[in-house]
Every structure is written in C-alpha cells, then in structure tokens.
Amino acid sequence: MKYGHFDDLNKEYVITNPQTPFPWINYLGNEDFFGLVSNTAGGYAFYKDAKFRRLTRYRYNNVPMDNGGRYFYIKDEDTIWSPGWKPVKTPLDKYECRHGLSYSKIMGAKNGIKAESTFFIPLKTWAEVHHVKLTNEGKQPKKLKFFSFMEWCLWNAEDDQNNLQRNLNTGEVEIEGSTIYHKTEYKERRNHYAFYSVNTPINGFDTDRESFVGLYNELSEPQAVLNGKPGNSEAHGWSPIASHYIEVELQPGESKDLIFVLGYVENPEEEKWESKGIINKKPALAIQEKFNTLEKVEAALADLKTYWEDLLSIINIESKDDKLNRMVNIWNQYQCMVTFNMSRSASFFEVGIGRGMGFRDSNQDLIGFVHQIPERARERIIDIASTQFPDGGCYHQYQPLTKRGNDAVGGGFNDDPLWLILGVVSYIKETGDFSILDEMVPFDNDESLAKTLFDHLTVSFNHVVNNLGPNGLPLIGRADWNDCLNLNCFSTNPNESFQTTENNTEGSKAESVMIAGLFVVYGTDYVELCNRIGKNKEANRALLEVNRMTDAVKANGWDGEWFLRAYDYYGKKVGSKDNEEGKIFIESQGWCTMAGIGSEDGLCEKALDSVKEHLDCDYGIVLNNPPFSKYVLEYGEISTYPAGYKENAGIFCHNNPWIMIGETRLGRGERAWEYYQKISPAYLEEISDLHRTEPYVYAQMIAGKDAYLPGEAKNSWLSGTAAWNFYAVTQYILGIRPEYEGLKIDPCLPSSIQEYVFVRKFRGATYKIKIVNGEKGKGVKSLIVNSESVKGDVIPLQKVDVEHQVEVELF
C-alpha cells in the first residue's frame, strides 16, 4: 500500500500515515550544519562531523524504532499528544508530514488544536529553526501546556555512549531567559557550545533528563508532562537536555507562533567567556536575533526554496512520464546533493561514527553533483587528492572535520586511485576549467610532497600499471569496489573487521577483472585528457597500457559466456562457470561492457545476455549468483551474508546502472529502461509495504531473488546508487552528456519514450533540447541548433546568457 503521495508542484513527498514501514527521513542543511529528521520528528543534528560534533542524541537500536528527536508535547486538559504522533502516539485527528528540499513540515491535530511544525536549516547558518504554529480550530477557548524536548549528545557520539564513568559527571548547562545552553567540556579543551532557544518568555524549563522524563518512564510519558509542570531542573552531570515549558491560551480561530532555534557556536580561545564561568553568548544571541520573528523565518525559508529552485533548473526534463520527471527533476538530484554532503557517514543505517568520507565514494558522488555547484566539487577533489599517497595509493576514507586520512581504515583498496580520474575529468567536462590540473596538491596532507593535481592523476594511473598479477590483470589488494570480496583476508576471528584485518597481499595472485575494466574506461579518459593538454608522449604511453589491459581481459578475463570476476589468492577463478557458487558477478560485466572490451567479437552482448539470464529478477539485478551457502575463507565477507542479502546475491543498486550503461552502448534501450524502472523509487511507491524504505530516494540494497523476502530494501539515502542512476538516466538513456567541446547528444531510448524536452544549463548558456525518437531509438539522424543544421552529435558551445533551441531526431 501507499503511505502518501508525491506533490510535484511543491517538490514534496506528503506522508499521510505516521506508521510508515520504516522511518521515512529527510536531511536538513546543505553545507556545514546538518540534521536528519524522520516523518515523526525523530533524528539528530551535528556540525560537519556526525561523530565528533554531534549536538543531539539518537538511539539507533532502540525499541520502539526511531526514539529521540525534536519533540513537542501538548497537554490539553487530560489529553497529552505530539504533533508528529511520536513519541506519545496518541491517535491524531489529522496528520501530515511534508518532506521538502532541505525542510520538513509535520502537522498534527487533536481535539480542535492544530500544531504545524516546520524544521529547516537556513542557508549559511549553523542552526536549525523549528517553527511551531498552534491554532485553535474549535469553538471554545483553549489553555494548553506546551513542552519542547531535546537531548544533548556529549559531542563525541561514540564516546557519549561508551564512557559513562566519565560522561555521567560532565554535563553542564546554562539557562538564560528563554535559552538553554549546552556547555559540557567548554571550560576545558573545547571552544564550542550548543543552545536551544525560543522567541517567547517561558514559564519554566528542564535541563536534566531524569527530572523531566522520570527515571523509569518512557519518552512517551515524561513525568513533567504528566504532572503538567516542569521541574526547573539544572543538569550537573547525568544526561543534560533542553526542554521549554510554555503556557498557551488560544481563543477560537486564534494562532500562536513559536520559533525555536537549535544552534552551534565556536568561539576563539580569547573570546570564550563573558565573565568568569559565564560563556560568551554574543554569537548565539546573534543567531537567535536572525530568526526571532515569523517574517524573518518565512524569508529564510523562501531563500532556501529559491536556492533549490536555482539548483534544480540546471537539468530539467519534460516528458509524459510523471515518475521519470520527478526522479530526474527533483528527487534524484536532491539525493545526489545529500550524498555528496554526507558520503556514507550519517543516515538511519550509518550511525555517523564508523565512517568518514570515502575516497572512492566521494569521487563517484561527484558525477551526480558537479553540475549543481562546481566550485564545491572542485574543493572536494582537492581534499580527496590531498589524502593520496606518493605511489598513487590512497587512504580509503578521510574525516570531514580534519580532512586527513583515516588511519583506522588505512588503504590498500586497489580500485581507489582510478576514481580520482573520473572525478577530475567529470569536473573539467562540466566546467571547462583545466586550471584545476595545475593546482599544487599535497600527498598524505604533507605540503612538502605537493605536486600538481595532474601528477596525482598520473600516479593514480600508474598504481594499476605497477600492481599487476600473473595474468596481466590488476592485483585487487585489500578489495576493489566490492569491499566484501576480501581475497587476501583469510579471517577466522569474528571480532575483527574484514576491511581492516591483515592484508595478505605479498605473494598473492588475487587479481580483479572489475578493476581491469575500470582501468580501460578511465585509462582511456586519462589518455584523452593528456592529448587535450598537449601531453602527447604521456598519452601514447598510457594508451599502450590501456591496450595491454584490454588484451589481458580478452585472454584471461573471459569465461566463455561472461567476464570472470577475479582470481583468488591462489590464482583460482572467481565468478566462473567452474565455480560451484558465485558463478557470475555483476561488476565485471558492467565495467568490461562499459569499456567495450571484446565488443567486436560479441563479448559484450554475450556478457549482458548472461546478466539477463542469471542475475536479473523482478526487483533488479542481483550482484552474484548462485549465492554462497557457506563461508568461503578465501572470499571473505561476501560469503557471510545470508543468501539474497547485501553482497551475497542481493540487488546492490549501486552497480545496476553500470549494466544500464553497458546496454546503451549496445543500443538496447528497452533493456536499459527496464532495468532503470525496476530500482527507481518512484516506480516502487505502490509496493511500499514490501520495499519499506522511502519511495522518493534510492536504497543501497534490495533483497534479491534468493532472499527470504525478495524486494525488501535497506540502507536508503547515502549510496553511490544516487549518482550512478542520475548519471545513467540523464547521460546515457536520455543521452545528454557534457564533453570538453560541448554537449554530446546520444540517447538510447525505449519505444515508450517518443519525445521529451531536456533543458540543460551548461557553461553559462541554456540549451532547450527537444528529442524525437525514431525506430531504433539510438543515433542522431538530425541535429538543429538555433534553426541551423549541425553535423555530428555534439552541440558546440554557444553564446552565454542566452537560451538556445535544439531539435534532435533519432534513427
């Protein structure tokens, strides 16, 4: 069943039943300050780093699910309720949650009182704004007792839940007027604090959790709310919170607006204190002043909406398929921004503690984001490259607060370096900014080792060339893109991580056919880039290596009907018809067909036909098949999952677009479109009970055909799936692709898409491109730009600040 509907005009998903199959969330914030908010107001907030600068607590494994968040309690005589249904769960007369672009609106009504809560983070602001509007829709006056509630995290989210012998003694607050300040550890080593304010005089407060909730009570029945009065408690250790108590009287038809601000402040060391023991509140008061009236809040929300209107106007399509339109125009682009901001670090599936920004992940995220804010993409590329090693290897992750490599994870993932070529080439093709190649970028954040970014690309390319195995294929290292294919791990200890245990690569014969295909794709891009900037000698050298790799795949990476996945530590085939389980894998089929390896001999067609035969199912393409039924020591984590889940024959949605792109290279638009629809969330809205995760964003994984419950999704929001699906549908199915010299027109369409208009802002000009399908759905029959015929399939760069009319007819 459905739990809501899309409101395309307002770019919102409207949830009409609070009991969604899983918490359906949204992200607040676009730059430094972020929040996660569920459809019942659950979630948490943080500054830059969800581990080290967590403002509010959240308990992932709690029962009931999604407990803790930005809560409001209303006591109306003997009835207690919450506008978002949770945590009280009193049945509401009306409920609605509207998740929009960086804001959420939650409305609840009970016994003639309507409460509307709007949550958002204003642009360029280290604070959340919570606007609550209370309206008496009844015929009698109402006297309400209103309580806010927020629980502070003691900054380090991991230490906060582990180090209780210290933490239960450190909590400190200040209360001044209608603002509660959280200053734990401020007098010692920290220069930051948080606050929660409201723009009206309060009738009381609580800052100690036990005093407000009661030691043995639940959040659904806090003692202060039951009593109808606060404790005016001041936290000294234990668990500090922020709760305002406000008495509200409303005449029939009357409304009252309450504006809460959850903020974060950093003070220079010399400006930490107003006086002895009193924190410097001037920055906090300045933030509160910016949002202390309804007019200011509405203006800030309007600015946020305009910001997103401008971003989404860069790529926009008009077709007869509403689901395609809303995914391309709104939700897929929105998810790409969120994923770019977060990498994989903070969601309802990633707790924000164990993951930094991924080297591989962030480069891939760029391809779905670079058109929106290229200058931020440029900064991210420099940050990523700065963590690379001089030999071309990389830290697998880095921390967003320090921008330094994550030692706990380290490196050794041998696909990582190649993704930097993807990120840089994508940026240059979008912007035309070749100057980024001349930027001096350190290795391992050591400025004394700095070389140009182009040099970083060269060592990335060479890292593969210098690490080949006995079959002339790339050594896999700790793992390639599939972090769970641990061919050099041999782990028997359940207490160690597969990704960080000893990397037994010395003497290993473990090679990756997937990296080989990746190398041919981005090695070819590297060759073209070299030629573009006049480095022809380097281009010729690199082309020889690409050709050698192509030959090695054809000689040692082909299994008769599909591409092998790898060779293991002992040199045995992985992903072969000779294997009992895991005979065929998706990754090498995707990358080798994207690379066109053996296409002249029909290898690509055979490989993709094998994908259809062995890996496809009703809900998408599974990662491998048959699934592993026992633990294979020399394969590692992939064989630990139950059949049909995650990397063991689950539908890992990240790699489905690689097959879509491979199909478009063969001109098979029907099949590419079929695969696109199977995992695109807007097309799955009707099966939300099964799918469970949000019908407006991609999930990382959908349970495969061998699972206990095929079609059930997990790990939504933060996934490379977002960028790759946007890349596949816009650049290869709809077929508008940025190139160095202009926009390439190369759609590969199903017969169900007869025509559409693709609006693309590109390097200062706007192109309104009308595509008319033909019998083949592939290949440009005619290209007319501003009423003039153009040869080929590339729109040359046109005059800036002008809208150009383009008409395209396909064969």
| Catalytic site positions | 483
Return the structure tokens found at 424.
Answer: 């840089």
How far, in Å, CA of 90 to CA of 88, rounded? 6
Query: Which whole-number Å values give the CA distances from 643 to 388, 497, 580, 618, 709, in the listed order?
Result: 36, 21, 14, 16, 11
Residue with tokens 């508008």: 736
What's the 3-state SS for 750-804? CCCCCEEEEEEEECCEEEEEEEECCCCCECEEEEEECCEECCCCEEECCCCCCEE
Are 522 and 422 in contact, with CB atoms under 8 Å apart? yes
How far, in Å, CA of 8 to CA of 22, rounded? 23
Amino acid letter, residue 312: L
Read out DSSP for 68-136? -BSEEEEEETTEEE-TTSTTT-PPPSEEEEEE-SSEEEEEEEETTEEEEEEEE--TT-SEEEEEEEEEE
Instruction: Check whether the bond before 64 is cis (ω within 30° of 0).
Output: yes
Are 392 and 449 in contact, with CB atoms under 8 Å apart? no
How do strand 736-739 and strand 173-176 relate by DSSP bridges?
Answer: unpaired
Amino acid letter, residue 454: F
Residue with tokens 């009707």: 686
Are 297 and 129 in contact, with CB atoms under 8 Å apart? yes
What's the 3-state SS for 292-348? CCHHHHHHHHHHHHHHHHHHHCCEEEECCCHHHHHHHHHHHHHHHHHHHHHCCCECC
Amino acid letter, residue 1: M
Helices (H), 313-452: 322-326, 332-342, 359-369, 374-385, 416-431
Residue with tokens 């040099």: 455
How far, in Å, CA of 666 to CA of 656, rounded? 16
Amino acid letter, residue 94: K
How far, in Å, CA of 51 to CA of 394, rounded? 22
**Residue 468, Cα to own-chain centre: how many angstroms?**
33
